[in-house]
Amino acid sequence: MAGVELAAAVAVSLERSGFSGCTEVVSMRPVNGGSINDAYVATMASGERLFVKYHQAEPGLGADQCAMMFDAEWNGLELLRKAGCFRVPQPLAVGRLASGAFLAMEHIDIRPLRDQRRFGELLAEMHLAVGAERFGLESDNWIGSTPQPNKWHASWVDLLRVRLEYQLDRAQLTGEAGQMGQALLQRLPSFFEGVEIRPSLIHGDLYAGNCAADEHGNPVVYDPAVYWGHHESELGIMHMFGGFSPELFEAYHQRIPRAPGFDKRLAIYQLYHALNHYNLFGSGYRTMCASLLKQALS
């Protein structure tokens, strides 16, 4: 993305959004933004810095949809901010170009998360807070660049089934893996028998790359795929790729103990993310999907 064009668009969108600070962008520096979006640090004429995410339009995800994706992220960031447990960057403006769309937000000077025990305590606090009465969200959003169905459901199992069906349909797994996917859907209610579930606010994509600490050591979270769901669903991706300490999970489960059948459900929640990675990044995740299906069904 040409920095000059993006800088001009960011300035216009900040003005339209009512941003109270300086809207003149003097530089756009590319930074690491993960595998889905391009990322920049915008320096304003005042010296203030903003963080800008940009997504290039692609087949099946046009510029308007890119803007909708960032609108959904804005809503997720605001829900997490209102929860008051973690520091969360404030979204400032969403804008659309012919080539894609962007989200400008508060820049936080992040560094590695050190106090993981405190992070676990705060995560449990967020999950225990009373909020929605149903499972889902007022609108669909995205996990990475994959649409995430969020239609409100009275039953968590019903929403989970919709999401797993969606990912399995996109994955088109064949052979034994495909058969296991259908078997899991049929048996899904059995994994939740006797388990009390109430809606918790879920970040939704909480791997180690989506959290950090600020300059004061306060835990920070960002890049959410928010919904109201079963608190255990948050832990799926957290256990998949490492980066979280045993102390974090110990602190979390001191507040929210593991319920019977936890390990099987954890495999199902990991499967959701493994399927999403398979759909986003390709066949390298097929073995992981098959292994998690076997683990859940064994």
User: Which are the catalytic amino acids?
Assistant: 205
Rounded distance between C-alpha atoms, residue 17 and residue 94, angstroms: 8
The SS3 of residue 255 is helix
| Cα separation of the two ends of the chain | 48
Tokens encoding 286: 């097929």
DSSP assignments along 202-252, one per residue: E-S---GGGEEE-TTS-EEE-S---EEE-GGGGHHHHHHS----HHHHHHH
Going by their DSSP bridges, the two strands 200-202 and 227-229 should be labelled as antiparallel
Query: Using an 8 Å Cβ cutoff, are 126 and 85 in contact?
Result: yes
Pick the closest to residue 263 from 289, 292, 230, 243 (CA basis).
292
Return the residue matching tokens 């920049």.
40
Beta-carbon contacts of 231 under 8 Å, excluding residues fewer than 6 positions away, are 127, 128, 200, 202, 256
Rounded to whole angstroms, what are the CA distances from 225 to 29, 55, 91, 175?
26, 16, 15, 31
